[in-house]
A and B are shown apart, each in its own frame.
Chain A
């Protein structure tokens, strides 16, 4: 099987290299053909691998590819761990990537960097596949940083735009803050287990649960510290508060990558990582609580920001932040299966929403402001209906994919009883209302109501062609149907096999599954819980405020001034990240340089000692004047001093 796995990662890589280095040679058609072929092969093989694992019941495989290096008895390797968890991620990644490749043919049609773009997204697919297929922490970190770099390159794809190259630097640096924690987490695990290999680390986890570790001079619980450090990495990559600030700005990149990287795949790497590391987190309850609280905070408070955004992509971006928070809440409550299921459904419906937003933007000649949209339902029928599917899935309307995954997640969380669970439950319930409100606010502002288009945009208004519409339809299908088919096996069944580890005390999904009687019963049961009513209420309020009585929305806004300002400034997190920290660092750097290096070391030590030498030699030079009376004078003075010294020094006898 190693050849299959190698083919899955190397086909997209080879395609990326061909399109990147020989783009001019093979032309535009050559570039998209070769990359779609590469990713297509990866997607087909990934589906086959998932089928073998889940349906044919082949066991998980743990294969080493090559030894990166050996030092101090630690063998660092590149290798694959392909089990049901990674196989699912492989399918999600390669399928969404394939859709985005096809869609890009339409979206980037007029762009001069066509080949470069295809090269980047294929390279991204390679890096992401390496990340999910890894069997050790080293390769995980490789993939982790590699997807970050491709994201950096893609956000800054239009490199002449000042906003784009500002956003990509910000994204990279904020991610680096997370990676800093992640690297320390890896170091902690190496320290505790002397290995980077998943299998060996997981085997040691239970024995570590009561162990303490010296942090400076304090004793901290070792495993929880390591897990929290790893999770800081996830907070960067999966944009959890307070490291979320980079994701909305990442929308400066072309829309296809917003769908692929900043919604469906890369940003879920943190969620995947926690699931992958479940054998560790399960023995570190403090870390689980940490995950839960951060996730819940992200879920509610970033959702609120989406309410005041007018850029269509930013609404979807804040919605992504909020949904990532939901996934983290699931991981923190040990409902890994529910979290992974929400990750999967979200990948489809959020990619759909982004691509639909991209379709709207294209139709309006790169207009992104919702205040200049409205009434597009008649002009963009396919986009309208597929968007509706995406929106209903996002708010968790009964029967849609997002409903099954989010409801399972919320109910599982309700059963958790680790510290922070109560706070998280409140956050995610309120979050449901907020989600529904901003989703339908966007939907109504774009597709319903009066047309507020520019004359220019109105003149060219048309729905894009089939390379755009086909991915929308193909993504709408799982957004509709995936919940019905998959919730049973994936959340309550044995889909993940042994790839997720849950201790019996934390097994909230298991307890929830005791009442499991099929998807229809699940829907009926959901009407006994508040979440569904909150979702419907949100949609209703959006309809009332943005379609039926627009004055009402304005009335509310006027009375919520301070809140409005707080939200419009995104809780001032951007101000800290963009103004305070960089300016502070530069000020510190200037002080260290001008005072430390230039004045103290160079001015004092180096040139000072040079001056000292110069001064000394000047003195000596003056003494050696060569004039006889100078020397005679010196002799007289010397004799006088000597005489006084002899006269006034008490002798030993005296």
Chain B
């Protein structure tokens, strides 16, 4: 598609959505054939890649990566459909960029070879850079440079850590990394190197400021993928690398990580309250919600220290992973909603709206649903992860739970205040008065997202069962010292 470009004519849209849908269908056998009872990697493909470095093309999934792979394949068709009529220039290249991105993201989540992982990780920056840089908003150049430098700088250190681990194990297999014994003086720099890469991606406070800018300038589809999938690579990285490779360093820096996570939840909650740009508000809300992911992972050692038991550690990790998946749906859906309004009025200013429900009642119903999900309403996916993390953090320390729990108030405050100003009220101006309700295409994508949000909220058991064996294994890995 990249090369055929406009010559494909009108068919290129159908081609793109067809490929994306096919990928989703192909990912279903992974779910259906997945064995929940084992933590081993499944559907493994392993061939030599660069024999000189003993790097391999080594892919496989376990319970931690499968949900993320499915999230990616589910969202890509939606993003393609969302860009259907909205993208006016170089449409074929736009869709091609998303399809390439999809392949690379799946690669990141399923690579079991460190070098292969790194290649996917870095390559993924390119299509994202292009998506923001070409189809983005006015300040897109500033945003792309900031995005690129932040994330690139972060991952350079990761490469150093990977090379060191290669020297220690004689290969790039991540499974080999997991079992190699490392002293504290080795673990600490390795952990910090990974931390830099992953913390930028999550993003954790204080390396989060690239995200609001990138979101604001990105086209709708870019924002959706950025929020829904790219951010999850950071959380996934912690699970796949930092925790099992450097458990002792994780333990000694756990308090720092917990503090940064709680700062994200509380501090960013207040910051989100005062945003006047819809996309910035949702971007800040993403940072606050991702705080729960890192909190869920790193309370493990606080629980161990406080109670002397492992009970609760698995709950925190499970909660963190569920939060990642759920946030993929909710933030993706919210960005789609903002995109739908932006396509009509070409502004993201909250003040330019008001009384949207009068002219777009169906859209308003969806928007309110996603907003409530973002505020962690039980019955929606937004509740599950936060609930589990708060329950687990109570075991670690009462005050962690109190600070994390403030999201109940802050999350509702910034989300519903936004809803009040945008959706409710009398028609604020002529622009709002002339709005058309959802087209069939828009209805379809929002309905799919709503389905995901409600199913996970009402019956999270399939998702949790999928990961439980892998979580159990991870709990053993993080609680066994490598010293």
A contact set with B: CB distance below 8 Å? 66-74, 141-142, 145-146, 149, 152, 156, 159-160, 162, 165-166, 169, 172-173, 176-177, 179-180, 183-184, 186-188, 190-191, 194, 213-216, 585-586, 588-590, 592-593, 596-597, 601-602, 605-606, 610
Chain A residues near B378: list those with CB within 8 A. 141-142, 145-146
Distance (Å) between the CB of A155 and the closest chain B CB? 11
Name, among A152, A592, A610, the residue most crowded by chain B CB atoms within 10 Å (CB to CB).
A592
Distance (Å) between the CB of B122 and the closest chain A CB? 21
Question: By the criterion CB–CB under 8 Å, are A592 and B271 in contact?
Answer: yes
Distance (Å) between the CB of A593 and the closest chain B CB? 4
Question: By the criterion CB–CB under 8 Å, are B413 and A173 in contact?
Answer: yes
- In Å, the complex CA distance between A142 and B387 comes to 11
Question: By the criterion CB–CB under 8 Å, are B405 and A184 in contact?
Answer: yes
> Is residue B46 contacting chain A, with contact meaning CB distance below 8 A?
no
Distance (Å) between the CB of A644 and the closest chain B CB? 40
Closest to A220 in B: B398
Which of B80-88, B185-193, B306-314 sits within the interface? B306-314
Number of A-B contacts (CB under 8 A): 143
Question: By the criterion CB–CB under 8 Å, are A159 and B394 in contact?
Answer: no
Known contacts: A169-B417, A187-B390. The answer to whether A176 contacts B372 by CB under 8 A is: no
Which of B22-30, B112-120, B128-136, B419-427 sits within the interface? B419-427
Sampled A-B contacts (16; CB under 8 Å): A69-B465, A71-B471, A72-B312, A73-B311, A142-B378, A145-B379, A146-B379, A172-B416, A173-B412, A176-B409, A183-B387, A183-B405, A190-B391, A216-B398, A585-B270, A588-B270
- In Å, the complex CA distance between A74 and B391 comes to 11
- In Å, the complex CA distance between A177 and B408 comes to 8
> Is residue B146 contacting chain A, with contact meaning CB distance below 8 A?
yes
Distance (Å) between the CB of B398 and the closest chain A CB? 4
- In Å, the complex CA distance between A159 and B209 comes to 35
Chain A residues near B270: list those with CB within 8 A. 585, 588-589, 592-593
> Is residue B355 contacting chain A, with contact meaning CB distance below 8 A?
yes
- In Å, the complex CA distance between A179 and B409 comes to 9
Known contacts: A72-B318, A593-B271. The answer to whether A186 contacts B391 by CB under 8 A is: yes
Closest to A158 in B: B424
Distance (Å) between the CB of A249 and the closest chain B CB? 14
Question: By the criterion CB–CB under 8 Å, are A601 and B397 in contact?
Answer: no
- In Å, the complex CA distance between A589 and B417 comes to 14
Name, among B149, B315, B420, the residue most crowded by chain A CB atoms within 10 Å (CB to CB).
B420
Question: By the criterion CB–CB under 8 Å, are B461 and A586 in contact?
Answer: no
Closest to A587 in B: B274
> Is residue B299 contacting chain A, with contact meaning CB distance below 8 A?
no
Question: By the criterion CB–CB under 8 Å, are B461 and A68 in contact?
Answer: yes
Closest to B267 in A: A592
Chain A residues near B206: list those with CB within 8 A. 601, 605
- In Å, the complex CA distance between A633 and B383 comes to 70
Interface string of B374-398 (1 = CB under 8 A from A): 0001110000100110111011011
Contacting residue for B267 out of A66, A70, A586, A596, CB 8 A? A596
- In Å, the complex CA distance between A199 and B397 comes to 26
Question: By the criterion CB–CB under 8 Å, are B461 and A597 in contact?
Answer: no
Beyond A169-B420, A176-B413: 6 further Cβ-contacts under 8 Å? Answer: A71-B471, A145-B379, A166-B420, A186-B391, A214-B306, A605-B206
- In Å, the complex CA distance between A548 and B159 comes to 90
Chain B residues near A592: list those with CB within 8 A. 267, 270-271
Question: By the criterion CB–CB under 8 Å, are A165 and B420 in contact?
Answer: yes
For residues 140 through 184 of chain B, which have their beta carbon under 8 Å from a beta carbon of chain A? 146, 149-150
Question: By the criterion CB–CB under 8 Å, are B408 and A179 in contact?
Answer: yes
Chain B residues near A179: list those with CB within 8 A. 408
Known contacts: A190-B394, A191-B395, A597-B271. The answer to whether A71 contacts B402 by CB under 8 A is: no
Closest to A67 in B: B461
Chain A residues near B399: list those with CB within 8 A. 215-216
Which 4 A-B pairs have CB atoms at the shortest separation, nearest pair first? A187-B394, A589-B270, A589-B274, A72-B315
- In Å, the complex CA distance between A173 and B314 comes to 31
Chain B residues near A184: list those with CB within 8 A. 390, 394, 401-402, 405
Chain B residues near A71: list those with CB within 8 A. 314-315, 318-319, 388, 464, 468, 471
Chain B residues near A188: list those with CB within 8 A. 394
Chain A residues near B208: list those with CB within 8 A. 601
Distance (Å) between the CB of B339 and the closest chain A CB? 23
Question: By the criterion CB–CB under 8 Å, are A142 and B379 in contact?
Answer: yes
Contacting residue for B424 out of A159, A180, A186, CB 8 A? A159
Name, among A176, A588, A590, A596, the residue most crowded by chain B CB atoms within 10 Å (CB to CB).
A176
Known contacts: A187-B394, A191-B395, A216-B397. The answer to whether A597 contacts B273 by CB under 8 A is: no
Closest to A225 in B: B398
Known contacts: A169-B420, A215-B398, A216-B398. The answer to whether A70 contacts B465 by CB under 8 A is: yes
Tell me the dominant secondary structure on chain B's binding face: helix
Chain B interface residue count, Cβ-Cβ cutoff 8 angstroms: 63
Name, among A146, A162, A593, the residue most crowded by chain B CB atoms within 10 Å (CB to CB).
A593
Question: By the criterion CB–CB under 8 Å, are B272 and A68 in contact?
Answer: no
Distance (Å) between the CB of A152 and the closest chain B CB? 8
Chain B residues near A172: list those with CB within 8 A. 412, 416
Name, among A173, A186, A188, A589, the residue most crowded by chain B CB atoms within 10 Å (CB to CB).
A589
Question: By the criterion CB–CB under 8 Å, are A602 and B398 in contact?
Answer: no
Known contacts: A159-B424, A586-B273, A596-B271. The answer to whether A72 contacts B314 by CB under 8 A is: yes
For residues 431 through 477 of chain B, which have their beta carbon under 8 Å from a beta carbon of chain A? 459-461, 463-465, 468, 471
> Is residue B358 contacting chain A, with contact meaning CB distance below 8 A?
yes
Closest to A162 in B: B425
Chain B residues near A166: list those with CB within 8 A. 420
> Is residue B406 contacting chain A, with contact meaning CB distance below 8 A?
yes
Closest to B388 in A: A71
- In Å, the complex CA distance between A180 and B273 comes to 18
Chain A residues near B397: list those with CB within 8 A. 216
Question: By the criterion CB–CB under 8 Å, are A159 and B425 in contact?
Answer: yes
Question: By the criterion CB–CB under 8 Å, are B425 and A165 in contact?
Answer: yes
Known contacts: A141-B378, A592-B267, A606-B209. The answer to whether A69 contacts B461 by CB under 8 A is: yes
> Is residue B227 contacting chain A, with contact meaning CB distance below 8 A?
no
Question: By the criterion CB–CB under 8 Å, are B311 and A183 in contact?
Answer: no
Chain B residues near A66: list those with CB within 8 A. 459, 461
Distance (Å) between the CB of B36 and the closest chain A CB? 11
Question: By the criterion CB–CB under 8 Å, are A586 and B274 in contact?
Answer: yes
- In Å, the complex CA distance between A169 and B399 comes to 27
Distance (Å) between the CB of A77 and the closest chain B CB? 10
Known contacts: A71-B318, A72-B311, A184-B401. The answer to whether A169 contacts B416 by CB under 8 A is: yes
> Is residue B357 contacting chain A, with contact meaning CB distance below 8 A?
yes
Name, among B273, B311, B391, B394, the residue most crowded by chain A CB atoms within 10 Å (CB to CB).
B391
- In Å, the complex CA distance between A69 and B462 comes to 8
For residues 247 through 292 of chain B, which have their beta carbon under 8 Å from a beta carbon of chain A? 267, 270-275
- In Å, the complex CA distance between A596 and B205 comes to 11
Distance (Å) between the CB of B406 and the closest chain A CB? 7
- In Å, the complex CA distance between A8 and B423 comes to 34
Distance (Å) between the CB of B368 and the closest chain A CB? 8
Question: By the criterion CB–CB under 8 Å, are A160 and B425 in contact?
Answer: yes
- In Å, the complex CA distance between A187 and B303 comes to 14
Chain A residues near B413: list those with CB within 8 A. 173, 176, 585
Chain A residues near B357: list those with CB within 8 A. 159
Question: By the criterion CB–CB under 8 Å, are B271 and A589 in contact?
Answer: yes
Question: By the criterion CB–CB under 8 Å, are B384 and A69 in contact?
Answer: yes
Chain B residues near A74: list those with CB within 8 A. 315
Question: By the criterion CB–CB under 8 Å, are B379 and A585 in contact?
Answer: no
- In Å, the complex CA distance between A490 and B275 comes to 54
Question: By the criterion CB–CB under 8 Å, are B424 and A156 in contact?
Answer: yes
- In Å, the complex CA distance between A490 and B402 comes to 39
Question: By the criterion CB–CB under 8 Å, are A149 and B426 in contact?
Answer: no
- In Å, the complex CA distance between A605 and B149 comes to 13
Question: By the criterion CB–CB under 8 Å, are B406 and A180 in contact?
Answer: yes
Question: By the criterion CB–CB under 8 Å, are A589 and B377 in contact?
Answer: no
Question: By the criterion CB–CB under 8 Å, are A601 and B425 in contact?
Answer: no
Distance (Å) between the CB of A214 and the closest chain B CB? 7
Closest to A73 in B: B311
Contacting residue for B464 out of A70, A141, A605, A606, CB 8 A? A70
